[in-house]
Chains A and B, each alone.
Chain A
Amino acid sequence: MSNHWKIYQPSTSLPWNVNRVRHLHRRAGLGVTLEELDRDLAAGPVISIDRVLQGTSRSQFTRDNFEEMSQVLAEAATRSDDEVRLKAWWIFRLLWTPDPLLERLTLMWHNHFATSNAKVGNLQLLLRQNQLFRQFARDKFQRLLQAVLLDPAMLIWLDSNSNRQGHPNENLARELMELFTLGVGNYSEQDVKQAAQALTGWSVKDSQARFRTEHFDSADKTVLNVTQSFDSATLADHLLNQPATAQRLAWRLCDTFMGEGVVSQPAIRELAEVLAASQLDIGRAVETILKSELFFSEANISSRISSPVEFVVGNLRSLELLDRPPSTMVLARWCSLLGQDLFRPPNVGGWAGGRDWLNARTIVGRANFAAALVAGELHTPIETPDLKQFCNRLTNSKSVPAKSGSLKNLLGRHLLSTPLPVEQEALLSDQPSELIGQLLSLPEACLC
């Protein structure tokens, strides 16, 4: 394996310890329970990372009939035509799936191909798009992109209905090049116009994509210096073959899994080469990242702002508040309030993420979420959770070295990705639920 992405091997400077197990689950899963922590600490990195990649990283709080329940909830949500219920369905999956990496990748594609119900106005179509993201999440990117270009929600979102021979609408063509494949600066205005012609002919009728030859412009088009009678599929393949596409996907994956300022340009280029050599195999690139020394390096730990979904779902799982299922509707509303309104990204560019997650309103929101969590308001009916019990389990956990200190310290390590400032400890409460509320409203709680 290459230089920048060489495989992580535990050493005295980069030991496999509880911090790295938590890091793996914070970034590639969503929170980690004490039992999973013990299990992975004992198993070592190879087995633990494989479990994440293969979708078996959760040993606790999953459901045997997960997919069946998910399907029932999805159908009920679309039938009700209540958008919050569809958001709640996704929260259900994020909370209970045995394969959190798959949900994270689905979320990544929802951001990459950001489509909003604000314009589409059809939950059935958004659900179908979401399932498509999940189906091809780890696949070769070609399969995903080709499917997205025939996806009714996408066709409505970017005005394909009005893109016809002789009178192209450039919306889909532009975003296809700027956001989905090449990235800005890698094509000309002329390329956009020509690509729009290649995409003519497709529209949505009765919730299905359909192709009408009479609306298709079959003339030759010149896109990125190649002239042929491009249509939607051949145009996509042409774009997929451009080095800029591999480069953009490499950036997207690093943006999803790696910390701020951790990945150098040469490292992105190298990951792009891995992608280009494997027909843009996303699963392969994800594996490259998650197995790398760079991923487990000190610089990469605690170097991201957590997203609202990570904050909400991750903390619930890490505190094991799942014996009684929390209200997914309530959680979906919290995610919206904190700035990640599922199925309603702010625009075609998706959520900017990173530091943009934090502003006065969302920071106060996170603190208030913590208050709601310890007050039991994430469950209906409201019932104060027994956090003392969790604290006892934490103090007695196998992974915790015997002399590692106070409950404040232990909880701080479990919930925060970076050590508590020493002077902070004295200011914290000794009472478990108050302590948890305080920890989750510290600046460090925004990092992962």
Chain B
Amino acid sequence: MFDRRKFIRSSAMISLAPVVPSFLAGLAQATESARGDERILVVIQLDGGNDGINTVVPLADEGYKQHRRELRLPDSELIKITSDFALNSNLRSVGQLWEQDRLSIVHGVGYPNPNRSHFESMKFWHVGSNQQEQVEQGNGWIGDSFGTRPVRLGAPHAVNVGDESMPLSLHGRRCIVTSISNPADMRLRASTVDLSERDQSSNATGLNQFVNKVVTQAYTSSRQISELTTQDSSAGYPASRLANRLKLISGMIKSDLGAQVYYTLQPGYDTHAGQLATHGDLLGELSSSLKAFMDDLRQAGLEDQVLVLCFSEFGRRVAENDSLGTDHGTAGPVFLAGTRLAQRSYGVMPSLTDLDDGDLKFHVDFRHIYASLLTDWLGLRLPTWLEGYRLDNLLA
């Protein structure tokens, strides 16, 4: 286990190491607060477009039977939650979190004029805007909100966990992000050249400045993270890729790395064909991994400091296609996990009979959720384009 004392020791080493450039060394002056009530957001991107209808199932809706003939989940494969909706039975552990007031569902989340392209819709979700001009600016809803806020001893603002490229959400002019999938990958074999004399803010062109910055940051965080080992916990993580990623995140949170946002994704939700089995497996992986993660944090006494957001770029069409799958649709549910949430469900289930060209009508604009997570939860400054949005009553 990478314990706190060891972390401080290695942090001190980092601040003295020649490789640390001035812009990071300056951060060492930022007060090293004792582990306090710093809040952390963990984002899980359900990649590919999750079929919300078979995730949070609208029991009472006539349209469910009508549109889902082959893909309709029988009662035996549902966990009834309220008279309105049930959970896919693969979400058993999520159901337990719900029972224990550690999980909320936001129903029917989407945005106006939905785009059914994975890339376009994901960009909107990453930026927090459905305006093309805003998307082209290239800053993400999380990345942009880290203004000049000091972070602890050269810690990154955010960590992208996994081998996928960094999501647009984390792009920001000042945002320092590290990407890791395995702490061992971060170990530098040979000593690299001292880059400390390089002027990070020089008049060098954009691309030169960029490579200077990212390479220097990478070598710095290499020293930090390669020492981190994941603790064997008794929380019972399943053997899966998502579980491993969450376990790594838990390790970083427990060792007080200092990042406020951890981002990871679970791929595979683009279920155009043979959906039932694939989708069930994905939800099962999500559910058991998420529960293990929350239990792990609970045992470490850290659960109150962490909130998890699970979202997908769109839901799927209400009517199934003829390949036992579903094509790209619109609105879907968002899961939030944590102990500080005020309500267990937000918004109302979208109707499966009152449709917009065969697609669900959204009720909650995802930007409301973003804005409340940034301000009410993380205490950050809102990106200008999210001003005016707020999900009422997010926190208890």
Contact = CB atoms under 8 A, between A and B. Distances in A.
B166 A359 contact: yes
5 contacts: A162-B322, A167-B323, A303-B207, A348-B118, A371-B189
A364 B185 contact: yes
Contact of B116 (A189, A356, A441): A189
Contacts of B219: 363-364, 367
B192 interface: yes
A152 interface: no
Given A159-B272, A169-B272, 15 more contacts: A162-B322, A169-B325, A170-B328, A347-B47, A355-B210, A359-B166, A360-B214, A360-B218, A361-B180, A363-B215, A364-B187, A368-B188, A421-B198, A442-B195, A446-B211
A372 B189 CA distance: 9
Interface in B142-188: 160, 163-166, 177-181, 185-188
Contact of B272 (A162, A355, A424, A427): A162
Interface residues of A, number: 59
- Point out which of A164, A303, A351, A361 has the most chain B C-beta atoms below 10 A from its C-beta: A361
A166 B322 CA distance: 8
- Point out which of A178, A184, A363, A367 has the most chain B C-beta atoms below 10 A from its C-beta: A363
B322 A169 contact: yes
A356 B193 contact: no
Nearest to B210: A355
Interface in B316-369: 321-325, 327-328, 357
A351 B267 CA distance: 15
B187 A359 contact: no
A363 B19 CA distance: 15
Nearest to A178: B117
Interface of B: 47, 116-120, 160, 163-166, 177-181, 185-190, 192-195, 197-198, 206-208, 210-212, 214-219, 221-222, 225, 267, 272-273, 321-325, 327-328, 357
B38 to A, nearest CB: 22
Given A162-B272, A359-B160, A441-B192, A364 B186 contact: yes
Contact of A441 (B119, B177, B186, B193): B193
A149 interface: no
A339 B160 CA distance: 14
A364 B218 contact: yes
A349 B120 CA distance: 11
A164 B322 contact: yes
B183 to A, nearest CB: 10
Contacts of B321: 162, 167-170
A423 B197 contact: yes
Nearest to A336: B163
Contacts of B118: 347-349
Interface string A356-381: 11111111110110111000000000
Given A348-B118, A446-B211, A161 B323 contact: yes
Contacts of A444: 208, 211
Contacts of A371: 189-190
A437 interface: yes
Contact of A443 (B163, B189, B211, B323): B211
Interface string A187-215: 00100100000000000000000000000
A169 B323 contact: yes
A360 B177 CA distance: 8
